[in-house]
Structure 1
């Protein structure tokens, strides 16, 4: 599995990373991240692309081998990475929002920090 993200307005960091797959990719709608709060916060997540008219795309999580952590879940999106917003924030997705932020990808150790699309829709 390869994650490639260009430097862009969603996230400044470019990235090219290769991971050894240990499971299938599954669509993700929410993740619990510990980047901003030590107790963690649940966030909506979407993929982000370079399309000016429709930049959103699906975000996915895939179990991969990580040389430093054993197995980890990589959450990835489009060519411009992923975009996150706290679930308490009720606004549309936008690069202009100060309450939202972009990342090239996330690496999460615990599957309990991921909510998959099929868990929401059925």
Structure 2
């Protein structure tokens, strides 16, 4: 089981630079998601990852996170095939967040 110990207070984030397809990094919009299927704030904080090292944890609502490419972005919806969910993200480079 992973345990994250906060090293700094959370800050709101709305974009993340990640590589969903190998060799194809892209900026994505990110939002928190709730069990009532509504967006909420996504936040990032520097954490100690179970003694494995320091990383940035990105978390959202009680249903995790929703992401979509910045290019061609649309309103947040579960039935949009260009959008996907994640329970949380671990980001190594803090410059990959905005």
> Structure 2-normalised TM-score?
0.91
Pairwise CA RMSD: 1.5
The question of 1:51 aligning with 2:36 is answered yes
Alpha-carbon distance between aligned partners in 1 of 2:40 and 2:15, rounded to the nearest angstrom: 14
Higher strand share: 2
Deviation, 1:89, is 2.1
Match of 2:71 in 1: 88
Match of 2:12 in 1: 27
Deviation, 1:17, is 5.0
Deviation, 1:18, is 3.1
SS at match of 1:112: helix
Q: Which runs of 4+ in 1 moved over 4 A?
A: none
Structure 2: gaps spanning 5 or more residues: none
Match of 2:62 in 1: 79
> Structure 1-normalised TM-score?
0.74
Tell me the matched-pair count: 97
